[in-house]
């Protein structure tokens, strides 16, 4: 992308990346920290490659009703 001076990078984060839970058995610390890390990478990388006309964005979809993850 840098040699072409053009490109788009889209990272998929999560709406819940900045929220833990009071339930100590939920084990969401790894998930939340990885998604927050992705947000930090997105912000930093966008600054680093912006001068090369490369856009870096993240989408953060919310919860989706499904069989494997019941809505609360």
Catalytic residues: 31
CB atoms within 10 A of CB 28: 15
Distances in Å between the alpha carbon of 54 and those of 23, 34, 39, 41? 40, 23, 17, 14
């Amino acid at each position: 992308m840098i040699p072409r001076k053009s490109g788009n990078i889209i990272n998929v984060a999560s709406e819940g990346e900045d929220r833990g839970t009071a339930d100590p058995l939920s084990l969401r610390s790894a998930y939340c920290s990885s998604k927050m890390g992705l947000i930090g990478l997105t912000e930093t990388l966008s600054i680093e490659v912006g001068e090369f006309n490369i856009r870096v964005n993240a989408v953060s979809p919310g919860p989706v009703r499904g069989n494997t993850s019941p809505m609360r």
